[in-house]
Amino acid sequence: MSGKLIIEGNAVYELDEECMLRKRLDQTDEEEKREAEGWVAGKYPKEDTKK
């Protein structure tokens, strides 16, 4: 298991780099899916102009 330790004052945090990578990839996949469906950040999907 890979990880990083962050020491901040008396607090110690361990970051799971594999988990962070999975989360980042999931977010990227979700954004690409929304863009493919026509979603723009904060707006509704594009209307179909072919009628």
Q: Model pTM greater than 0.85?
A: no
Q: Which pLDDT score is estimated for 47?
A: 59
At 1-18, the pLDDT tens digits run 567 899 999 999 998 888
User: Which carries the bigger pLDDT value, residue 16 or residue 39?
Assistant: 16
Q: What are the extents of the domains in the chain?
A: 3-36
Q: Which pLDDT score is estimated for 29?
A: 86
pLDDT at 50 over 80: no
Beta strands per DSSP E along the chain? 3-8, 11-16
Contacts of 13 (CB under 8 A, 6+ apart): 5, 6, 7
